[in-house]
Structure 1
Amino acid sequence: MEERDRDSGITLAELLAAFSLATDLGLGQPMEHLLRAWRLATGLADRLGVAGERRDELFYVAMLSWVGCVADAPEVAASFGDDIAFRAGSYDADLAGLSGAAFFARHAAAGQATPRRIRAVATLMLTNGNRVARGIQSHCLTTAVLAERLGLGHEVGTALRQFFTRWDGRGVPAGVGATDVSPLVQLFQLADVAEVHHRHGGVDAAVGVARARRGGQFAPAVVDAFCAHAGELLDGLGDTVDVPRVLAAEPALCRRLSERELDAALEGLADFTDLRSGWRAGHSRGVGELAGRVAGVMGLPPRDLTVLHRAGLVHDIGLHGVPVTVLGKPGPLSVTEWERIRLSAYYTERVLARPAKLGRIGAVAALAHERHDGSGYHRGIGGAAVPMTGRILAAACAYRAMLEPRAHRPALPAKAAAGVLRSEVRAGRLDTDAAHAVLTAAGVEGRQARRPGPAGLTPREVEVLVLIARGAATGDVAARLGISRKTAGTHIERIYAKTGASSRATATLFALRNGLLDPLDL
């Protein structure tokens, strides 16, 4: 079996459950909103007798229904200002008829001068909201494309294309309603809205919004089942979701991804994250590819190469919590806006905190904006506190971003970007070895043979150093790496000779100084 076909230790359900936390941020909701809504929809499915084999489809619909909001986020921001605030407010409005028109009018050109807002409202009325409808269609199509990339079935794709339909046929696509709407959509539409209203106003509020939209947005039978069992369905819904436990109870959601499938899934999520801003298309994929090449240039162990590539793919997943109006602002950011950018790195780590193998990727990904002198974010750590994987990711992200246009500047030519990267090294903000390796991997400083690790350590010697610094004896090293005790002893002797260490303690200090003893590697 090829290495990339081996079990990754992560299921698609676990990955999408994690990604749903980022989607929650983009909806202006607290994390685990979509997970709670899924649990509510599952309870409704049980009471309505929805076939058991469709429970996994309901999960994927719940996790992905709102993912497409990144696809139309720039358009939403252009029409309604802060896209996150707009989506958060939409839960309080029935978006058809007069109530929908009033909601869109209130948010048209939000944050702009009064004349601009008046023109925006007039445009909405004259065009009958056609631009909004096109954005919704884009949302649904983009989400269905992601489902296809993830290998999900036809029923999931169909449901995702219908997420903005209504029972009364007044949604998007126009004229699709009643029994033509997927049962999965009928269930999750109500659960999505009811969870928000229950959190804000309790059971009575959730029942009230369901009844108010019965026969309009929501299917009557689903509303009736919900109202009849609301107390028991909503009981405990506000508790933190024990994701491993609830997923383990659903056998259809327990198939693990291969290493190859995990990479493909992370690439898909990276591409969708970058859709949040028109300036960032391809950024995360580019950072992942570059960081992986840099690990090879520096001679890091294969595991670090894999982690760096994957961390690069998802390092900006926390940007789902930052409004497009901030990401695309051409001028200086306010203190509040800058704080939202800083928090994005925290969100990245929080979103990817579980399961453990994904948490490792997330911990490295959250270091993309840290700086060697401690001036970065979100923790503001530097020096030995940042492992070599984090130093590489920071340099790769910085270089790749300079090659891309942003709202406040054009893209830089490769040589100019290299000059800026070197100036960051001189200022102490980026690690010298990491930045040099980035420029080598990018082809700016010419091709060269693989560089050894610090003090000329080979990749295998780096692995051995990490193990002995963690307290492993010679026999433990041999067992962990599948080598003989004699070979392990030879590696240790060479490490001591190359690093000038005279004991495990001094070898550990060498590893720390050079970012090899990763504090994230438990």
Structure 2
Amino acid sequence: MPGTVGEPVTISVAELVGMLSLAADLGLGQPMEHLARSCLIATRFAGRIGLSDDDIATTYSLALLAWVGCTADSHETSARFGDDIALRAGVYDVEIGSPPMLGYLVRRAGSHGSVLHRARVAGGLIATMGRVVQDSLVAHCQVTGQLATRLGMSERLCRCIGQTFTRWDGRGSPTGVRGTEIDVATRIVRLADVVEVHHRTGGVDAALDVTRRRRGSTLDPDIVDAFVRHGRDLLDGLPAESSWSELLAADPAPRPLSGTSLDAGLEAVADFVDLKSPYFAGRSRGVADLAAAAARRTGMPPGEVVVVRRAGLLHGLGRSGVPNTIWDKPGPLTDVERERVELHSYYTDRMLRRVPALGHAAAVAAMAHERLDGSGYHRGLTATSIPSTARLLGAAGSYHAMIEVRPHRAALTPPAAAAALRGEAAAGRLDPAAVEAVLGSAGHHTRRPSAGPRGLTAREMQVLELLARAATTRRIGEELGISPKTAGNHIERIYSKIGTSTRAGAALFAMQHGLLATLEPLDG
């Protein structure tokens, strides 16, 4: 994990949008990096056929952004068609706006409900020629356009997003937009999205064949003809495994985000992630702000508070990989459904690992659902492996969930939530100190904090944290503004109080009692 906690973090807009594209991949029923590979295909193809620099830059950004709104209507889609992820996966075998697509939707209609429900939904689709699906496509474009605006994307790109579901023959959405009225970047991205799926599942010949079959209907005939000429070389040149590093290297106009601009970008991601279900509306920001307030309340340095808040904004990124038939289920989950819910933390971890600069915040985000007794997920970590930052995020997430409405229960009142959260601490699942910090930040009266474990003073706990992270006596003195001799005296008293005589023993004690903000060693 790079750097130290609090060190300035810079990522590119492409990395930020790329994270969302990974979430969109799962929501589309595709493996992660589907959109990354589509972006490489589209961008390289645009360069191969001699488009302008602006065309190439627009194509690159559009390929990453165009589909990230796919989960925005998951709640409504699930109510009509059952598993929203499975529905979207099957769409790649039919053309949008075609009779086969309407037939596909009718067959999927009400698939999770009774016979009467199936008939009602299917009848409505046939009677309106899939009008509700058209409305869904409009919603997709609107929310993606809003995200693009928040990220400072160009007006041209925002117009392209509004054309995401157009067809060359004018039978797409918006109806009547056809031919060269559709931006060339949109036409290329539409082709690349379909090509990537069919190339991955059937090889080069399958990819070329699907473009020929859709020539003149969904796809621009000239674009198809050019791709047939160049496609084999382009597809043979794709990375065999991960496309992530090639994706970032292909960015025609890198734009960095750091400080407040990075936080604003992460807030946009958090808001977008929460669209997955109406039950999550505002959750990521709420958890992030509560966890950050609790971190400040415990006296964490400003850099660690920033890490905690960013982790809160990111901790729900993997929700897109779980269908809304589970998230929105009004009754108890089965064991299999519960296992799928727990996978979302794993997905979050895998997505965030692709952005090393977010290392500390990413690591904390991936531990949001871990519990001190090992009963959490996705790794089943225990107390010694969960730093104080993650303990605070876990307590904040639990409290926020308790006061939120869920499909199977009403929201708890704040007093009831406070009692339940303290019950989790008493049962050994949540850190008592983290719980009190969260409750105090949420406006509850808190219990008087106890002294540090084994009677450690506040200063001794600061020294212990640095010692556990392999800081030398001199480094401890520099960090805390004390002399090396004074630092050494503190270390001797700490060893005496906790019953050890080694740094390793002190580190184990600190981890067990949640006294570390991070488990990373200090540099130097």
TM value normalised by structure 1: 0.92
Q: For the residues of structure 2 that align with 1:491 and 1:397, how far apart are their CA atoms?
A: 36
- Specify the SS of the correspondent of 1:354: coil
Residue 514 (structure 1) shift = 2.1
Q: What's 1:67 paired with?
A: 68
- Specify the SS of the correspondent of 2:267: helix
Q: For the residues of structure 2 that align with 1:397 and 1:311, how far apart are their CA atoms?
A: 11
Structure 2 residue aligned with 1:493, among 464, 478, 489? 489
Q: What's 1:149 paired with?
A: 150
Matched letter for residue 294 of structure 1: A
1:401 maps onto 2:397 in alignment: no
Q: What's 2:24 paired with?
A: 23
Q: How does 1:97-176 map to 2 (within 5 A)?
A: 97-176=98-177
Q: What's 1:358 paired with?
A: 358
Q: What's 2:265 paired with?
A: 265
8 Å contact from structure 1 (residues 71, 139) kept in 2: yes
Q: For the residues of structure 2 that align with 1:461 and 1:178, how far apart are their CA atoms?
A: 71
Alpha-carbon spacing, 1:169–1:451, altered in 2? closer, same or farther (3 Å)? farther
Q: What's 1:380 paired with?
A: 380
8 Å contact from structure 1 (residues 199, 238) kept in 2: no
Q: How does 1:57-456 map to 2 (within 5 A)?
A: 57-237=58-238, 239-250=240-251, 252-253=253-254, 255-445=255-445
Deviations 1:168-201, CA, capped at 9 Å, x for gaps: 1111111111111111111111100110011111
Matched letter for residue 307 of structure 1: V
8 Å contact from structure 1 (residues 32, 240) kept in 2: no
Q: For the residues of structure 2 that align with 1:56 and 1:462, how far apart are their CA atoms?
A: 51
Q: For the residues of structure 2 that align with 1:268 and 1:453, how far apart are their CA atoms?
A: 38
Q: For the residues of structure 2 that align with 1:285 and 1:91, how far apart are their CA atoms?
A: 34
8 Å contact from structure 1 (residues 95, 103) kept in 2: no
Alpha-carbon spacing, 1:152–1:496, altered in 2? closer, same or farther (3 Å)? farther
Matched letter for residue 85 of structure 1: A
Unaligned runs of 5+ in 2: 1-6
Residue 22 (structure 1) shift = 1.3
Q: For the residues of structure 1 that align with 2:15 and 2:413, how far apart are their CA atoms?
A: 40
Residue 498 (structure 1) shift = 5.6
Q: For the residues of structure 2 that align with 1:239 and 1:298, how far apart are their CA atoms?
A: 48
Residue 457 (structure 1) shift = 5.5
Q: For the residues of structure 2 that align with 1:99 and 1:378, how far apart are their CA atoms?
A: 40
**Mean CA deviation greater in 107-116 or 71-80:** 107-116
Q: For the residues of structure 1 that align with 2:457 and 2:510, how far apart are their CA atoms?
A: 11
Deviations 1:469-500, CA, capped at 9 Å, x for gaps: 23232344567x4x77x545534533553673
Residue 394 (structure 1) shift = 1.0
Matched letter for residue 409 of structure 1: R
- Specify the SS of the correspondent of 2:253: helix
- Specify the SS of the correspondent of 1:252: coil
Q: For the residues of structure 2 that align with 1:305 and 1:451, how far apart are their CA atoms?
A: 22
Q: For the residues of structure 1 that align with 2:516 and 2:433, how far apart are their CA atoms?
A: 16
8 Å contact from structure 2 (residues 46, 55) kept in 1: no
8 Å contact from structure 2 (residues 24, 69) kept in 1: no
8 Å contact from structure 2 (residues 460, 494) kept in 1: no
Alpha-carbon spacing, 1:131–1:461, altered in 2? closer, same or farther (3 Å)? farther
How many matched pairs?
512
Alpha-carbon spacing, 1:291–1:452, altered in 2? closer, same or farther (3 Å)? farther
Q: Percent identity?
A: 46
8 Å contact from structure 1 (residues 385, 519) kept in 2: no
Alpha-carbon spacing, 1:453–1:217, altered in 2? closer, same or farther (3 Å)? farther
Residue 9 (structure 1) shift = 2.1
8 Å contact from structure 1 (residues 404, 412) kept in 2: yes
RMSD value, Cα: 2.4
Q: For the residues of structure 1 that align with 2:452 and 2:128, how far apart are their CA atoms?
A: 62
Q: For the residues of structure 1 that align with 2:24 and 2:196, how far apart are their CA atoms?
A: 15
8 Å contact from structure 1 (residues 47, 225) kept in 2: no
8 Å contact from structure 2 (residues 277, 328) kept in 1: yes
Q: What's 2:4 paired with?
A: none
Deviations 1:326-373, CA, capped at 9 Å, x for gaps: 000011112221111011111111110122222322221111111111
Q: For the residues of structure 1 that align with 2:185 and 2:348, how far apart are their CA atoms?
A: 30
Deviations 1:16-63, CA, capped at 9 Å, x for gaps: 222211111111101110000000001210122121244333222122
8 Å contact from structure 1 (residues 363, 520) kept in 2: no
Residue 250 (structure 1) shift = 3.4
**Mean CA deviation greater in 50-59 or 22-31:** 50-59
Q: For the residues of structure 1 that align with 2:451 and 2:173, how far apart are their CA atoms?
A: 58
Alpha-carbon spacing, 1:456–1:262, altered in 2? closer, same or farther (3 Å)? farther
Deviations 1:212-253, CA, capped at 9 Å, x for gaps: 111111111211111111211111436223534542353512
Q: What's 1:509 paired with?
A: 508
